C-alpha cells in the first residue's frame, strides 16, 4: 500500500509538471502579436524582450534609405502608434496603409527595432484582368523581353 501511494503521488507530480509546461508553451504560441496600444501599456516590462507587434503602416510615415537598406515608419492600431526602425529588405507587399507584423525589440528610446517585417495581404485571390499576364516578361523594370 505504501509503494502504491508513493507511485500515485509521483505520477501526479509528473502530470502536473507536464501540464504546466504544455500550458506555458501554448500561452506563448497563442499570442501571435501585441498591438501598439498593448505595447505602450507594458513598455517598461517589454524592454529587452523579443516581441511581435502588428498594426497598420501609417500613411505618410514611411521613410526609405535604399542605399543603406534602412526604413523608418509608424505602426498603428488606430489608437496608438509606435515608431519602427528596420534594416534590410522588406517584403514586396510592404507599403503604407497596409497591415504588417514586425519582430524585434523595443529600444530604450521607445523605437521598435525590427529584425523582420511580415506584410499582411488580402485573404482573397483575384486573378489578373483578362488579357494580362501575372508574370513579368522581363526582370528589368520597363524593359520587355525580346523573343525571336
Q: Using a cut of 0.85, tell me whether the model's pTM lies above it.
A: no
Whole-angstrom distance, CA of residue 61 vs CA of residue 86: 13
Q: Give 71-94 pLDDT, tens digit per residue.
A: 999 999 999 999 999 999 999 889
Residue 6: all three cell numbers together:
508513493
Q: Give 12-68 pLDDT, tens digit per residue.
A: 999 998 888 877 766 655 657 889 998 888 766 677 788 899 999 999 999 999 889
Q: Give 100-128 pLDDT, tens digit per residue.
A: 999 999 888 889 999 999 987 766 666 66
Other CB atoms within a 10 A radius of the CB of residue 85 amount to: 17
Quick one: pLDDT at residue 56?
A: 94
Whole-angstrom distance, CA of residue 142 vs CA of residue 61: 28
In the chain, what is the straight-line distance between the N-terminal and C-terminal CA atoms, in Å?
90
Distances (CA, A) of 136 to 41, 64, 91, 95, 132: 46, 25, 18, 20, 10
Whole-angstrom distance, CA of residue 28 vs CA of residue 23: 9
Quick one: pLDDT at residue 65?
A: 92
Please give the class, per CATH, of domain 31-119: mainly beta
**Domain ranges (residues) in the chain:** 1-29, 31-119
Helix/strand/coil for 72: strand
Amino acid at each position: 500500500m505504501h509503494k502504491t501511494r508513493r507511485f500515485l503521488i509521483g505520477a501526479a507530480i509528473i502530470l502536473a509538471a507536464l501540464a504546466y509546461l504544455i500550458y506555458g508553451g501554448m500561452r506563448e504560441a497563442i499570442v501571435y502579436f501585441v498591438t501598439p496600444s498593448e505595447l505602450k501599456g507594458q513598455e517598461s516590462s517589454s524592454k529587452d524582450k523579443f516581441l511581435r507587434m502588428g498594426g497598420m503602416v501609417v500613411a505618410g510615415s514611411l521613410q526609405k534609405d535604399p542605399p543603406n537598406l534602412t526604413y523608418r515608419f509608424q505602426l498603428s492600431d488606430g489608437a496608438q502608434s509606435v515608431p519602427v526602425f528596420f534594416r534590410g529588405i522588406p517584403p514586396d507587399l510592404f507599403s503604407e496603409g497596409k497591415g504588417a507584423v514586425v519582430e524585434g525589440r523595443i529600444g530604450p528610446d521607445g523605437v521598435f527595432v525590427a529584425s523582420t517585417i511580415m506584410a499582411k495581404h488580402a485573404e482573397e485571390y483575384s486573378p489578373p484582368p483578362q488579357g494580362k499576364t501575372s508574370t513579368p516578361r522581363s526582370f528589368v523594370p520597363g524593359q520587355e523581353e525580346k523573343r525571336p
